[in-house]
C-alpha cells in the first residue's frame, strides 16, 4: 500500500517537474557538466544523445555512469555504454536503469553511426523501453532516433537530432509518454583547450530549451566544465580527470527548487 502511494507520488512528481528534461536516461557526466548540449559533439556520451555523435570515435570505449537525481535514491539512473568502431562505422550499445523496485524504467539501445566524409556523419538508434511497476503493470515500447553532424569549419561543428518522431509510447491508459523532441546545436573550439557548446531542444509539449556549456582543459589531466539551461533554469558544473586510457568525470546540476543532481562516470578506452 505504502509502495503504491510512494509510486504514485513519484510518478506525480516526475510528471509535475518533468518540464525538467523529459528523459530519465543520462549521457555521462562529461555532458552533464555541459548542460547536455551534446548534439554537435562526438564522444561516447552520445550513445544516448545524437546517434551521429559516436561516428568520430576511433577506438572501442566503455562508459559506466551513475546519477542521483535531486539526491533521492529512488530517482537514480545507472547506465553502461559501449562503442565499437569498425572501418567507417561505429556501433554503440547502451543500457540505462532508472528507479527502484517499486518503479523502474529500462532503456536498451543499439546505435549505428557512419562517417560519410571528413565533414559529414549520420546515425540511427533503436531503443527498447521498459516500464515496470510491480503488481500494477509491466510495459514495453520501441522508439527510434536519428541524427546528423557536420563540420562547418575546422573548429566549428553543427548537429541535428530527432528522437521518437513516430511518437511511440506505452499503453494509452498509463499516461506515460515517451519524449518526442528535436534538437539542433553547435560546437565551437576556441583553442585546443577551450570549447563552447550550445543547443536548442524542442520537445513536444514543452517550451524550447536553450542549453549552453563551456569546457576548459586546465591541464593534460584535468578539465573543468560549466553550463546553463533555460527551461527550467538550471546550472551545471563538472570536472573531468583523464589519465592514459581512463576517464573519470563528475558533474552536478542545480535546479532552483529541487536542488542538486550529482552524476559520476568512469570510462575506459581500449
Partner 1 sequence: MGLRILRYTIVSISLAALCLNCLGQDPVDPLIEQVLESLPEEEKEQFDLVEFTGLLNDYLAHPLNLNTATAGELGSLLILNELQVQAILEHRELSGPFRNVLELQSVDRLDLPLVRKLLPFVTVSEEQKEPPGLGGQAGLSHEVLLRYSGILNSRKGYRDPPSYAGGPGRVLARYRITGSDLSFNLTLGKDPGESFFSSGQGFDSYSANLFLQDKGYLKKLVAGDYLLQFGQGVALWNGYSSNMGPAVLGVARQEAGIKPFRSSDESYFFRGAAATLEWGTVELTPFFSYKKLDAALEPDGEREWVSTIRRSGLHRTEGEIAGKHRLGETVAGIHLGVRPSRLFTAGATAYTTRFDKPLKRGEAPYQLFDFSGDELNLLAVNYQFGRRNYFLFGEVAHSLGSGSAFVNGILFSPAPFVSLAAAYRNYQKNYHAFYASPIGQQAAAGNERGWYMAADFRILDRWGLSLSADAFTFPWLRYRVNAPSNGYQLFSQLEYRPGKETLFYFRYRKRNHPAYRQTHIRFHTEYRLSRQVRLKNRVEYTSRRQEVRNQGFLAYQDVSWSIPPGRFHLDVRGAFFNTDDYYTRIYAYENDVLYASSFAFYYDKGTKFYLSGRWKVNRMLDCWLRYELLRFFDRDTIGSGDEEIEGSHRSDVRIQLRIKL
- Give the Cα separation of 247 and 268 in Å (integer): 6
Contact between 216 and partner 1 per CB under 8 A: yes
Applying CB under 8 A, the span of 28-36, 45-53, 102-110, 186-194 interacting with partner 1 comes to: 186-194
Minimum CB separation from partner 1 for residue 89, in Å? 34
Long-range contacts of 136-144 (CB under 8 A, 24+ apart): 136/4, 136/7, 137/171, 137/174, 139/170, 139/171, 139/174, 139/176, 140/170, 141/168, 141/169, 141/170, 141/178, 142/168, 143/168, 143/178, 144/168
Of 228, 241, 248, 266, the one binding partner 1 (CB under 8 A) is 228
Q: Which is nearer to partner 1, 136 or 190 (CB)?
A: 190
- Least Cα distance to 39 among 25, 53, 27, 57 occurs for 53
Q: Which is nearer to partner 1, 100 or 235 (CB)?
A: 235
Of 14, 44, 113, 214, the one binding partner 1 (CB under 8 A) is 214
Of 3, 100, 230, 242, the one binding partner 1 (CB under 8 A) is 230
Of 15, 136, 190, 246, the one binding partner 1 (CB under 8 A) is 190
Q: Which is nearer to partner 1, 183 or 215 (CB)?
A: 215
- Least Cα distance to 56 among 126, 145, 119, 140 occurs for 119
Q: Are strands 89-99 and 76-86 parallel, antiparallel or unpaired?
A: antiparallel
Q: Which is nearer to partner 1, 35 or 63 (CB)?
A: 35
Any residues with CB less than 8 A from the CB of 12 and at least 6 apart, and which?
A: none
Contact between 138 and partner 1 per CB under 8 A: no
Binding site for partner 1 (CB under 8 A): 190-191, 193-194, 212, 214, 216, 226, 228, 230, 233, 235, 254, 256-257
Amino acid at each position: 500500500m505504502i509502495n503504491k502511494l510512494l509510486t504514485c507520488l513519484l510518478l506525480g512528481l516526475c510528471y509535475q517537474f518533468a518540464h525538467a528534461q523529459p528523459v530519465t536516461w543520462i549521457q555521462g557526466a562529461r555532458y552533464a557538466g555541459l548542460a547536455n548540449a551534446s548534439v554537435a559533439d562526438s564522444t561516447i556520451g552520445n550513445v544516448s544523445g545524437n546517434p551521429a555523435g559516436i561516428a568520430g570515435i576511433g577506438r572501442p570505449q566503455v562508459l559506466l555512469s551513475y546519477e542521483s537525481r535531486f539526491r533521492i535514491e529512488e530517482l537514480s539512473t545507472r547506465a553502461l555504454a559501449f562503442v565499437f568502431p569498425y572501418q567507417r562505422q561505429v556501433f554503440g550499445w547502451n543500457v540505462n536503469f532508472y528507479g527502484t523496485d517499486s518503479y523502474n524504467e529500462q532503456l536498451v539501445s543499439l546505435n549505428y553511426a557512419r562517417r560519410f566524409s571528413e565533414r559529414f556523419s549520420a546515425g540511427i538508434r533503436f531503443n527498447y523501453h521498459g516500464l515496470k511497476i510491480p503488481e500494477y503493470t509491466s510495459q514495453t515500447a520501441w522508439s527510434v532516433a536519428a541524427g546528423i553532424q557536420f563540420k562547418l569549419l575546422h573548429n566549428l561543428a553543427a548537429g541535428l537530432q530527432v528522437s521518437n518522431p513516430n511518437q511511440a509510447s506505452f499503453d494509452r491508459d498509463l499516461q506515460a509518454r515517451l519524449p518526442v523532441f528535436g534538437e539542433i546545436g553547435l560546437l565551437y573550439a576556441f583553442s585546443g583547450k577551450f570549447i563552447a557548446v550550445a543547443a536548442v531542444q524542442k520537445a513536444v509539449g514543452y517550451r524550447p530549451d536553450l542549453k549552453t556549456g563551456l569546457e576548459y582543459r586546465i591541464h593534460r589531466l584535468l578539465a573543468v566544465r560549466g553550463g546553463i539551461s533555460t527551461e527550467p533554469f538550471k546550472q551545471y558544473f563538472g570536472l573531468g580527470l583523464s589519465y592514459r586510457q581512463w576517464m573519470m568525470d563528475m558533474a552536478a546540476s542545480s535546479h532552483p527548487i529541487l536542488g542538486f543532481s550529482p552524476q559520476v562516470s568512469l570510462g575506459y578506452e581500449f
